[in-house]
Each structure stands twice: as C-alpha cells, then as structure tokens.
Amino acid sequence: MVLGDGTNIEGSQFSYGLNSVLPDGVPVIGGLAGDYKRWEETFTLFDNKLSSGHAIAVGFYGDALDVGFGIGGGWLAFGPERTVTYSEGTRVYEIDYQPAFALYKKYLGDLANELPGIGYNFPIQVALPDCEQKVIRSLIGINDDDSSITYAGAVPEGAKVHLMMSNLQSLIDGAQAAAESCGPNSQPDVAILVSCVGRRTLLEQLIDEEVDAVSQVLGENTLIAGFYSYGEFSPSGECLNCLHHNQTMTITTLKEG
C-alpha cells in the first residue's frame, strides 16, 4: 500500500518506477493525497513527521491473508474512439492530428468554454498499450496558446482514447461494481477505499451513497476506511502491476483466515 504527496508526485511516472523494481505479481494499492481540488499542498506523515514530496509504502504479507481488488468508474463513453497523435507525458497536443481542445469544442459546444473548470465532468478513457488495460484521466488544464490539454496522469502517444461523461447514478453504480469485482471474499475484515476528489466534487451531498453502495455489497461487519485522492493506485483485471487511475473508486479487501 503506497501513500504519496499528491501535489508533487506525478502518479503515472511514480507507478512506472514502482513496477520497474517490484517483482512481477506484487500488487500495489493506495493513492496520492488530495486537498479537495485546491492543488496547493499535501503531505505524508511518517515517524511523527510531516513532509512534502515523499511517499510511504506499507507491505502486507502472510499465508493466511486473503486479498481482493476492485475498481469501478461509472463513466459512459460518447463519440468514436480516437488516437492520440502527439503527446508528452501528461500533456496532449493532438488527437487524430487535430488540436486536442478542438475535440472538446466539437462535442461540448459552448460548454467547452467552461473548461477546465468543469473538467471533472468530461475525463477521457485511455487504453494503455503496454498492459492492455483502460484507465481514466482527469482534465485539469488547457493551454490557450497551442490548444493542448493537461491531464492528471500520463496519456501515451499512440493510445486509443474515448471522451467520457456520467450522471450521478452511474458514478454510484460504478462504486457498487468495484465492490462486486473484489472477488468471492465473503465478509472481508477490512476494505480500503480510495476514491477521487473529482468524484466527490461531482457527487457533492450524495457522496455518502458511494460508500453505502460498497457497504451493501461487502456487508455491514466489514470495517471501511479510505480517503479522497489526486490519483488512485490499484491492479486492474489480470494486470497485477501498479496502475495509476483518476476519478475511479478503488477497493482493496483484506481478510485473515
């Protein structure tokens, strides 16, 4: 389980670094600290000391430990699948050889003028070419000089992407799906939930329903803990390597038999 500073650590590069040194098959969960969309300063706490720019890792092991994983978004694709034709890290310059922001103008019309303020409403889904998995990326900035877009995670050049949208019920359904995908763990002892600040922003007063949906699946005797993050770490599907997600509910269940 990895906990990192959300304002000084780029989650995608961080996850690549973890994967480069950890043995295959070691799953990584956790997230980056958030300060509720202020993007000012976040901290980690270790040995009674607060620090910025650091990450903390905690290892869980044991023959009797049963671990389950689940992720869910509730995001709905619209428009055709497209290809990122020019990008550098978290910044996308061209999609299908057109300025990235032009795609949003085409599909959002006048709403595009409210970006990046409403960026949490319209993330993209990225098909990662290196592990055949799909992740969500939050839109956090627009450069007016070149119509490029900055996301809260890396978007590789050549990746296939989809514009996404949601409604409040689909986000809650996504949290429920995450719990249902944790595996056959009946009544786990503990569930660690890491959900995105962006989901909290969108759900507002309905945010408790996201957690309630998880609790109803896992059972009332399961202890639930977690936080809202600037990036979530969790395996996905058959890929046990560390993946960096945005605007996603990630759940890890622990049970000791």
Q: Give the tens place of pLDDT for each residue, 184-235.
A: 656 899 999 999 999 999 999 999 999 999 999 999 899 999 999 999 999 8
152-170 residue pLDDT tens: 999 999 999 999 998 999 9
Spatial distance between the Cα atoms of 183 and 82, rounded to a whole number of angstroms: 33
* Distance between CA atoms of residues 155 and 218, nearest Å: 33
Three-state secondary-structure class, residue 244:
strand
Average pLDDT over residues 30-46: 91
Q: State which amino acid sits at residue 57.
A: A
- CA atoms of 59 and 137, how far apart (whole Å): 27
Three-state SS at 108 = helix
Q: What is the pTM of this model?
A: 0.92
Q: What is the pLDDT of residue 166?
A: 87
In DSSP notation, 179-225 reads HHTT-S--S-SEEEEEEEHHHHHHHGGGHHHHHHHHHHHH-TTSEEE
Tokens 């995908």 found at: 181
Question: How many C-beta atoms surround the C-beta of residue 2 within 10 A?
Answer: 18
Name residues whose C-beta falls within 8 Å of residue 111's C-beta, 6 or more positions apart in sequence: 118
For residue 247, pLDDT beyond 70: yes
CA distance 77 to 82: 12
Cα 241–Cα 184–Cα 12 angle in degrees, nearest 5: 20
Q: What is the pLDDT of residue 186?
A: 66
Residue 94 and residue 123: Cα distance in Å, rounded?
16
- As a residue count, the chain comes to 257
The predicted pLDDT at position 37 comes to: 79
Contacts of 124 (CB under 8 A, 6+ apart): 136, 137, 139, 151, 155, 161, 162, 163, 164
Residue 102, phi then psi, degrees to nearest 5: -60, -30
Neighbouring-strand partners of residue 82: 161
Question: E-assigned strands of 76-129?
Answer: 76-88, 91-95, 98-99, 124-128
Residue 169 host element (H or E): helix 168-180
Q: Please determine, for residue 83, whether its predicted confidence score (pLDDT) is greater than 80.
A: yes
Tokens of 124: 């993209």
Cβ density class 87-114: b for 16+ within 10 Å, e for less? beebbbbbbeeebbbebbeeebeeebee
Amino acid 238: pLDDT: 66
